[in-house]
Structure 1
């Protein structure tokens, strides 16, 4: 009456098929490089070079992050929020943003406080295996097809007009750094 009990383990894996960096206003930012390179069957990496063509530094950068899951088209899943990047980089007190920032922080020049520009901002050879570890071991996500969407802008000025220097007080915007969903 001995029963053989077998242990079954299920593992998830994240893989990238495409990287697309699109620009809505090339006078604000454009991408020199945006690619996923497959070195061999087991090693891929992502590289991106963003350029800020303006000669003045940027002090007021907002960033929108959205994780979309495919289900009859891509729908928002779990995260969809906008942050004040300059405030976050000073305090780094938002655990959700800390998690997403940890995806690329070690492989990037996007790891300091404002101002940003006119130098290049680079994510260099970010291994897909690192993202795989972050999304399967650190904070597991359910099986499915996903799109990670980001968008940045200078949110204090319409049409990227004059920049507010750090010694002037910008107008207040509510709920920066909060999750809206």
Structure 2
């Protein structure tokens, strides 16, 4: 093994935060690649209280029915720019919603967002389903400090890149930036 890789791995474990973990959203960006397919109504961070920042995303789907949705979930860590870190997984969202696998890493992140969003039904997404839910909404999603207490995470700034793919075409991306224990 490369000695540089081993020393970098050792330094990253030294920077792991024991005990008290503080997280916060720092930025949120929504990018649409196909404006005839989806429209962004809201994509912003909002201060909900002292030290609480909530992410709100409201997407209106314009072309229905949607029979297959894939989600690519990537995590990047800021070093000298953002570099891939730990996860880059693609999930068939329709299959995942019907058969959630608690051993898949996406299950952990979906479980954290589920109480804040209205996407909790299986595919296909059609007009009759969307009459009741109207849009895809993630409202006031707050990063709780307990989310990262189970997983040892190095201190630093991170970027989560969520890419939505339907019919093998990238429709849009949501980029969320967050800090873990940077102020402490």
Q: TM-score, normalised by structure 1?
A: 0.74
> Which structure shows the higher strand fraction?
2
> With CA pairs under 8 Å and 6+ residues apart, which has the higher RCO, 1 or 2?
2
- Cα offsets for 1:96-141 (capped at 9, x unmatched): 111010121011111211122553011112123x2x3212x13231
Residue 38 of structure 2: aligned partner: 29
Runs (5+) with no aligned partner, structure 2: 1-17, 172-184
Q: Write the distance in 2 (CA, Å) between the matches of 1:25 and 1:134.
A: 33
Of residues 9-18 and 75-84 in structure 1, the stretch that sits farther from structure 2 once superposed is 9-18
Q: Deviations over 1:45-98 (max 9, x none)?
A: 1111111111x2101111110000011211110000111111111101152111
CA drift of 1:24 comes to 1.0
Q: In the alignment, is the contact (CA less than 8 A) between 1:12 and 1:143 conserved in 2?
A: no
Q: Give me the whole-angstrom Cα distance separating, in 1, the residues matched to 2:54 and 2:158.
A: 18
SS in 1 for 2:90: strand
Which residue of structure 2 lines up, in the alignment, with residue 149 of structure 1? 161
Alignment partner of 2:98: what SS? helix
1:41 Cα shift?
A: 2.6
- Give the structure with higher Rg (CA): 1
CA distance in 2, matches of 1:30, 1:108: 17
TM-score w.r.t. length of structure 2: 0.73
Q: Structure 1 stretches (4+) deviating beyond 6 angstroms? A: none
62-71 or 21-30, larger mean C-alpha shift: 21-30
Q: CA RMSD in A?
A: 2.0
CA distance in 2, matches of 1:140, 1:35: 28
Q: Which runs of 5+ in 1 are unaligned?
A: 1-8, 161-181
